[in-house]
Amino acid sequence: MFLNLRNWLWNSITDWLNATSKSNRNVAIINNFEDMQKDLQIADVVLFEGRSRVSEVIKIITLSPWTHAAIYIGRLDQIKNQRTKELVKQHYKGDPKEPLVIESLLGYGTVVNPLSLYTEDNLRICRPDGIKASDRNKVVCFASEHLGISYDVRQILDLARFLFPYAILPREWRSSLFQHNAGKPTAIVCSSMIARCFQSVSFPILPIVENENKERVKLRKRNFRLFTPTDFDYSPYFKVIKFPHISVKSRSSYRDLPWD
């Protein structure tokens, strides 16, 4: 009885958080989805300007419009690794020709979704600059190993706690972000999952730079739980690619744009 009530309460809260907020119902779409989909490459990171209530919370925490991230894995028939293909098939039963992303979502966990779900959203592509094709495939393979993992609500709360001075928080409220958990995490958020995938092939996002002296520089990997979607936009190791709704390049001059 208590378990059913708890599940009902949690599902109700999740539905409320995932619902579109009133202020975001009429957001203008500024990107060209068709052009973006044609240009996507395996292991590109797709950033989303979320419009849900939970997205509003993430915007406050990160001071960025980018509230969600997914990793592009291509079409099912493009996946070369057989184990990865089988894992994706277990979580996706749709058209094998559909471009897919792996993402971690509140209320759903880590799942496979068709990119076409987001035709009405503002998106941005962050492309790992100079990454080898073999490592792109490894990143996708590692992402597939996270399928089925729960969404880590506690991690979002922990990130929010960084807004407050550490000393004033009761011990039981303090962050668990730095607790060591051996092996695969049991719960994760979108940006942390993607960061973990790139760290698995030692591709930098926002590494910690240590200057021992002027001639010797060392990089250290950051805790993957500390990454947010905007870090991929900010990273100097990712190319930011935009697809405007009306391209200036296709016209003789920006003055030819259809201004009203």
Give the highest mean pLDDT range of 28-32, 120-124, 179-183, 223-227: 120-124
| Residue span of the structural domain in which 205 resides | 14-247
CA-wise closest residue to 138 among 87, 81, 96, 204: 81
**Residue 198 resides in a domain:** yes
The DSSP H or E segment spanning 240 is strand 238-241
**Residue 189 resides in a domain:** yes
What is the tally of structural domains in the chain? 1
Which residues are 170's β-sheet partners? Answer: none
What is residue 191's predicted lDDT score, i.e. its pLDDT? 87
Mean residue pLDDT of the chain comes to 80
Distance CA 211, CA 217 (A): 5
**Residue 5 resides in a domain:** no
Question: Quick one: CA torsion of 127, 131, 137, 139, rounded to 10 degrees?
Answer: -70
Say yes or no to pLDDT of 173 above 50: no
pLDDT band at 163 (very low <50, low <70, confident <90, very high): very low
DSSP classification of residue 164: S
DSSP classification of residue 199: H
* Residue with the larger pLDDT of the pair 209 and 23: 209
Cα dist from 245 to 164, 239, 256, whole Å: 40, 19, 15
Say yes or no to pLDDT of 147 above 50: yes
What is the CATH number for 87?
3.90.1720.10
Share of the chain above pLDDT 90, in %: 42
pLDDT band at 168 (very low <50, low <70, confident <90, very high): very low
**Residue 255 resides in a domain:** no
How, if at all, do strands 150-151 and 187-188 pair?
parallel
Distance CA 81, CA 240 (A): 28
**Residue 34 resides in a domain:** yes
**Residue 167 resides in a domain:** yes
Residues 92 and 100 sit within 8 Å (Cβ to Cβ): yes
65, two tokens: 């419009």
**Residue 252 resides in a domain:** no
How, if at all, do strands 150-151 and 123-128 pair?
unpaired
**Residue 31 resides in a domain:** yes
pLDDT digits (tens, 9 = 90+) for 61-110: 767 788 889 999 999 989 989 999 999 999 999 999 999 999 988 778 89
Say yes or no to pLDDT of 129 above 90: yes
The mean pLDDT of 199-227, rounded to a whole number, is 86
What is residue 90's predicted lDDT score, i.e. its pLDDT? 95
User: Please, what's the b/e burial string for 152-168 (b: 16 or more CB within 10 A of its CB; e: otherwise)?
Assistant: bbebbebbeeeeeeeee
What is residue 186's predicted lDDT score, i.e. its pLDDT? 53
